[in-house]
Structure 1
Amino acid sequence: MSDTSITHSLMGGKLHVYKRPGSSFWQCSAYEGGKNRRATTKEESLARAKQVAEDWYLELRGKLRSGEIKTEKTFKDAAAQFEREYEIITEGQRNPLYVEGHKRRLKIHLIPFFGPMGLSEITPGQVQEYRIHRHEKAVKERGKPPARSTMHQEIVCLRQTLKTAVRHGWLQFMPDLSEPYGKSGKIAHRAWFSPEEYKQLYEATRRRVRAPKRPRYKWESEQLHDYVLFMVNTGLRPDEAARLQYRDVTIIEDTASGDQILEIVVRGKRGVGYCMSMPGAVLPFQRLIKRNKPEDRTEPLFPKHHRQLFNTILDEEKLKFDREGNRRTAYSLRHTYICLRLMEGADIYQVAKNCRTSVEMIEKHYAIHLRTSIDIAAVNVRRERPQPVQKPRKSNPDGR
């Protein structure tokens, strides 16, 4: 029998030395820690290979006892399973960018910190160490800590990964991921344009259309002007507007008012929804058709985002920041639509439905700072004080 078919057992049958076909070196293997572990001795001599194999086996046992080698699934294993499941199960239900965001958080932040840890080692204390690590790293690299929303999304990703491990029986129970010493976050309103500021903005974009800095910027100026009017009269998110195609928009008649409005099929982070615009969105849409002359109804309404020109006009008009220092972006046009509708007395449920959001979100981030959200009559109600009843005076027995 040749050496390639010979296996030698050592250490009471717990260690095996063998050769693979076509290899001149002896290999060794042992079943420890719930899995079969192998290594090469890099020796051609059987005697020396046995010595190396015994040393390797004893070192392996020592590492297992000290915890240097994990005998359980690691966070990296759970992250790989979560990525595989999440992308398949949420296909069509979650925006691909949101799914990709979780992958990015795992790759850049969570796996480098938790990856080699066994799942049972991820305790509330380790999660708090991660928060401190992220804070210190961000301050060192960028000069400021990560935003509260950024940390929230990373903890959400961590929680979903650990839930995957629980479902597969790799982790017995979920650790407490709540933030210690926490306090209620400040509810700040989102940056928007007041009616006066909105008028200042669209008049500035109109002036840019009439007198662009250079003739070749005329098309971009016209597109931006119609973009501002379209967004404030529809309440679309910027990513929804970027996906919008001509076939998604139809001019219809509002049966209640008789005005022409737009019926829009919206594709965004919450799937497919519908939006009924204000009458002010019709003329910008008609101008877009006349200007761009789409040959195919699948062409986008706004093929460019015009971010640079938009920010330039905001800076020129001193509208980039609101009075609380909140930065205004294209998203502020959506916030403006919601606030203007509430100021006009629109039903908050219908506004939420038309904007594909919740009443809770609108009450938390929009209506809370509008004076029109306070019922003055209910606040300043006055009740008449009851007049004290005067008791009749008793007469004296002697008639006096």
Structure 2
Amino acid sequence: MERIRFRDGNVYLYKRENSRRWQARIKLKNGKWKRISTKQANLKDASEIACNLHDEYRVLQKHNVVLESRRFVDAARISIKEMEQELQAGYGKKSYLDYIQAINRYFIPYFGNTLIANIDFTAIKKFDLWRNEQVKRRLKHSTLNNHNSALKRVFNVAVDRGWINAYQVPELRNKGERSQRRPNFSWDEIKKLCRFMREWAKEGRTEKSNMMRELLQDYVLILIQTGMRHGTETASLKWKHIEEFSHNGTAFLRFWVNGKTGKRELIAKHNVRRYLKRIKKRFGKVSGEENVFRLSNGESTKCLDGTFNILMKESGLMFDRHGNRRTLYSLRHTYATFQILKGIDLHRLARNMGTSIGMLEAHYSHLTPTMAAKDLAGR
């Protein structure tokens, strides 16, 4: 292969077999080589193009301009792979699942083959409008935080590989709808609910309906007194994850749960023993590998949300006094509210619930005046 040097060996011109046109290899300032086709058959014209590009690249590199970008999808796939590997290794954040979903559902379909170096603030604004059209509603502040975190991981991949410079990463803003106050139950409403469920659990129209109501009754009472997350933590709970232990002469009930924030130890209220015994009684004997929350025929169910909605409607407790609709997650919020009003240390409560002190302060700060009512109203 014929090779001709220029610019002290930083530019090479050569021809491929059966080709009349000159190709060029240009050495960049970082030591890497960039290949181009001059599209010229004349050596003088080809050398002029290659040498001019060499000089132009040197000037651009001097000003930290990236010479070769990649498509957004290339960086996105690497980012997804890294998060999946960390999750499989056991030290990835649970929020990575949300990041991966956001990248696959929104960012790749929109940006896809766009060079990541070309994604600036204006492009992000256009993406925001497109995303709003897709979801047909204003996204929550917390959802946009997840989306921004996911996008930052993709940009970090591009920066680390030299596909963009750090200053090219656009500013990511969050103008999402602030979350409303989380609906919970008052103590009087809990007493009303417990009284109502005693007969309601037996009044289903079918045998399957009665089994659903029977399970939901204990499910509701356990969630109120443990603060477990509905679905993410209850679905994988097995009998082997529940144990008794003693400390300073007192017996305690401990749950080992695995959910949004990973594995953790949870101390349940003493009354939970009563509801667990009632569940066990339906089966006669249970093994450690069996799920705790099953119908009395042994089947698992994913329909408790629907049965809970029926319970709320028929009990007249569907909405709180602020007009917020209650869901099964309201039981977790009720647990947190009662504990905070009792004066439980936020650090201990956060660890037991698998959340952060900041999250508790953000969503339950309205309880502060109630907690200080005696001092505020005193002389």
Smaller-chain TM-score bracket: 0.7 to 0.9
Alignment of 1:374-389 (within 5 A): 374=372, 376-377=374-375, 379=376
Output one character per residue of 1:214-247: Cα deviation in whole Å (capped at 9) or x when no partner: 3443322221111111111111111111111000
2:379 is aligned with 1:368: no
Equivalent residues, number: 318
Mapped contact 1:261–1:282 kept (Cα < 8 A):
no
Output one character per residue of 1:237-288: Cα deviation in whole Å (capped at 9) or x when no partner: 11111111000111345647x4x54211111122211111111211001111
Which of these residues, 154, 163, 172, is aligned with residue 178 of structure 1? 172
Which of these residues, 1, 20, 27, is aligned with residue 10 of structure 1? 20
Task: Give, as a single letter, the amino acid of the residue that structure 2 aligns with 1:301.
Answer: V
Distance 2:323 2:189 in 1: 15
| Structure 1 residue 149 displacement after superposition | 3.1
Number of the residue aligned with 1:163: 156
Distance 1:126 1:110 in 2: 12
Between structure 1 and structure 2, the one with the greater Rg is 1
Task: Give, as a single letter, the amino acid of the residue that structure 2 aligns with 1:319.
Answer: L
Mapped contact 1:230–1:281 kept (Cα < 8 A):
yes
Distance 2:178 2:73 in 1: 35
Number of the residue aligned with 1:219: 211
Q: Which consecutive unaligned segments of at least 5 residues does structure 2 have?
A: 1-15, 25-32, 42-66, 294-299
**Percent of counterpart pairs with the same letter?**
26
Mapped contact 2:238–2:289 kept (Cα < 8 A):
yes
| Structure 1 residue 346 displacement after superposition | 2.3
Secondary structure, counterpart of 1:357 in structure 2: coil
Distance 1:195 1:81 in 2: 50
2:141 is aligned with 1:148: yes
Secondary structure, counterpart of 2:157 in structure 1: helix
Which of these residues, 315, 319, 322, is aligned with residue 320 of structure 2? 322
Output one character per residue of 1:48-95: Cα deviation in whole Å (capped at 9) or x when no partner: xx9xxxxxxxxxxxxxxxxxxx95211111011111111112331346
Mapped contact 1:248–1:264 kept (Cα < 8 A):
yes
Distance 2:35 2:197 in 1: 68
Distance 1:35 1:105 in 2: 36
Distance 1:81 1:216 in 2: 47
Secondary structure, counterpart of 1:264 in structure 2: strand
Mapped contact 2:141–2:178 kept (Cα < 8 A):
no
Alignment of 1:389-400 (within 5 A): none
More divergent stretch after superposition (294-303 vs 366-375): 366-375
Mapped contact 1:76–1:115 kept (Cα < 8 A):
yes
| Structure 1 residue 187 displacement after superposition | 6.0
Task: Give, as a single letter, the amino acid of the residue that structure 1 aligns with 2:126.
Answer: E
Output one character per residue of 1:16-61: Cα deviation in whole Å (capped at 9) or x when no partner: xxxxxxxxxxxxxxxxx94679xxxxxxxxxxxx9xxxxxxxxxxx
2:186 is aligned with 1:188: no
Task: Give, as a single letter, the amino acid of the residue that structure 2 aligns with 1:79.
Answer: A
RMSD: 2.8
Output one character per residue of 1:336-361: Cα deviation in whole Å (capped at 9) or x when no partner: 11111222232222222211212221
Number of the residue aligned with 1:351: 349
Mapped contact 2:93–2:261 kept (Cα < 8 A):
yes
Mapped contact 1:209–1:221 kept (Cα < 8 A):
yes
| Structure 1 residue 328 displacement after superposition | 1.5
2:91 is aligned with 1:112: no
Distance 1:370 1:206 in 2: 34
Mapped contact 2:23–2:35 kept (Cα < 8 A):
no
More divergent stretch after superposition (324-333 vs 363-372): 363-372
Mapped contact 2:71–2:112 kept (Cα < 8 A):
yes
Distance 1:94 1:321 in 2: 37
Number of the residue aligned with 1:270: 261
Which of these residues, 211, 216, 230, is aligned with residue 222 of structure 2? 230
Number of the residue aligned with 1:46: none
Q: Which consecutive unaligned segments of at least 5 residues does structure 1 have?
A: 1-5, 15-32, 38-49, 51-69, 383-400
Which of these residues, 243, 246, 249, is aligned with residue 250 of structure 1? 243
Alignment of 1:57-72 (within 5 A): 71-72=68-69
Distance 1:216 1:76 in 2: 47
Task: Give, as a single letter, the amino acid of the residue that structure 1 aligns with 2:186.
Answer: S
Secondary structure, counterpart of 2:19 in structure 1: strand
Distance 2:99 2:272 in 1: 36
Task: Give, as a single letter, the amino acid of the residue that structure 2 aligns with 1:208.
Answer: W
